[in-house]
Amino acid sequence: MATSLSSVTAREGAQNVKRAAQLCLDMKANDVVVLNLAGVTDMTDYFVIASGTSDTHVRSIGEHVIAEMKKAGLTVHHTEGLQQGRWVLLDFFDFVVHIFHPTLRAFYQIERLWSDAETVALEPQE
């Protein structure tokens, strides 16, 4: 049975999302969550949501994700908030990484806003 191009692309997309989430975890991000937005919105397929412990930590996580994804051949298409380090948004088109300062994450409650989305389980890395 042949594998369709769309299923290969979807599988690669899911792997890229999990890689971005793992990169956040590698930088000691807190409360990392992946939301599958398929069927909920057309703007992107996934959100990766994470928290840093300070402005500097939030910026460092964002910079790490950008650098490591670039090494893997993925370029971020748009960034917001990297200099301020309060809420960093990294748009990779197929998925968006949100890295929050804890107070802003609690205020915006983005998981609650997108509560119709399925939460994707992250496998522990060794």
| Per-residue pLDDT reduced to its tens digit, 93-108 | 999 999 999 999 999 9
Residue with tokens 């298409």: 77
**CB neighbour list of residue 54: distance below 8 Å, 6 or more residues apart:** 85, 101
Does 50 reside within a domain? yes
For position 111, which CATH number holds?
A: 3.30.460.10
The C-alpha angle with vertex 87 and arms to 66 and 43, in degrees rounded to 5, equals: 70
Query: If pLDDT is split at 50, 70 and 90, which confidence band does 124 have?
Result: low
**pLDDT confidence of residue 3:** 32
What pLDDT is recorded for position 9? 58
For residue 84, give its domain range: 30-120
Helices (H), 1-126: 5-26, 55-71, 102-108, 110-113
Instruction: Tell whether 44 is covered by a domain.
Output: yes
- What's the pTM? 0.89
In contact, 81 and 88? CB cutoff 8 Å: yes
Number of domains observed in the structure of the chain: 1
